[in-house]
Amino acid sequence: MIHHRNIALFVPHEGCPHCCSFCNQKTISGSSSKPHAKDVDEAIKTALETGGKGGQLAFFGGSFTAIEREYMLELLKAAKKHIDLGNIDSVRISTRPDAINSEIIDILREYGVSSVELGAQSMDDEVLLMNRRGHTAEDVVRASHIIKEAGIELGLQMMTGLYGDTKEKALRTGERIAALCPDTVRIYPTIVIEGTELAHLMKKGEYIPQSIDEAVEICASLLLMFHEKNINVIRCGLHSGGGVEEGYLGGPWHPAFKELCQSRIYLDKALESVNGEKGKYRFHVKPSALSQMMGQKKSNIAVLREKGIFPEIVPDPTVSEYKVTAEKITEEC
């Protein structure tokens, strides 16, 4: 299901019974105010004035089905009114894996929810416990099955570099998430924000956040794995804006993080295609991937040259995404 426009409303995590190690939603969202039905009306009215009818209303915040039931219904009823009027097409929500059951899914379907995103974050129970998530990997599996059996689009979110996480655990999390066959995935490398438990642990020297290079290496592997399984990664890296920069203390935050990961994939593919043999090469890539093949500020070109590989990048519409074909250029006498 493709939605060409999102109308986003942040629902504070008052329904969340936990205080996850990484979480300071006021900083991440730039908001802590509680929306009501009139705010739904206003957000959709603004969207109609700027972009016309259609699109999807998204209630984000990560614990939508854990908020007080009457309040949840207030928001859903306000949204359903606009679905019935043709102002929006559907509703998407994000919530916790342990806040999904068959009764809740029936309510969501009744009010036009077509997509549910679960904050899985990790599929390693030890990592979940160390970061105070309050749910298990099995909760993610159970909730995912309920959502898919109801015919609702499933989105899963995962994080890398959490307290107690490792590269191997993150990759296993990716594999377990892929096995659930979600329609979409979001990958968030962990950043440290002021006012969180991770900030406290980092200041005590008990937690060291990932470097950009470490995060890019892991997330590039995850991007490629999901791509090969035909799972759409709709975000890789925390979005810029919303106050994140002001509260940022450490970790791999970059405004173009996904592009860094894509460039790493193309660099690895180029190196793999020449099998360590130095010389001049003509690398064929998908036309839209030229900049990714070259890397940010031509960093991939520099790495290849340092290894004795002198590249010429050629756009080739016959080459698919994340593929590189190499043609060695021989010197004529």
What is the per-residue DSSP string for 220-263? HHHHHHHHHTT-EEEEESPPS-TTHHHHEEES---TTHHHHHHH
pTM of this prediction exceeds 0.75: yes
Mean per-residue pLDDT over the chain, rounded: 92
The DSSP secondary-structure symbol of 208 reads: -
Q: Inform me whether the pLDDT recorded for 1 exceeds 70.
A: no
**Percent over 90 (pLDDT), the chain:** 84
Q: What is the pLDDT of residues 8-49, one digit of tens each?
A: 999 986 545 656 777 775 544 445 578 999 999 999 999 999
> Stretch 183-191: mean pLDDT, rounded?
97
Cβ neighbours of residue 48 under 8 Å, at least 6 residues apart? 87
Q: State the residue for tokens 């559907």.
A: 90
Beta bridge partners of 155: 117, 184
> Stretch 124-138: mean pLDDT, rounded?
94
Q: What is the pLDDT of residues 59-89, one digit of tens each?
A: 998 899 999 999 999 999 999 999 999 999 9
Angle at the Cα of 41 from the Cα atoms of 40 and 45, rounded to 5 degrees: 120
Q: State the residue for tokens 């009818």.
A: 53
Question: What domains lie within the chain, and their CATH numbers?
Answer: 6-255 (3.20.20.70), 263-328 (no CATH)
Q: What is the pLDDT of residues 258-317, one digit of tens each?
A: 999 999 999 999 999 999 999 999 999 999 999 999 999 999 999 999 999 999 999 999
Secondary structure (3-state) at 80: helix
- HSE (side-chain half, CA atoms, 13 Å) at 310: 5
Residue 126 phi/psi, 5-degree rounding, is: -65, -45
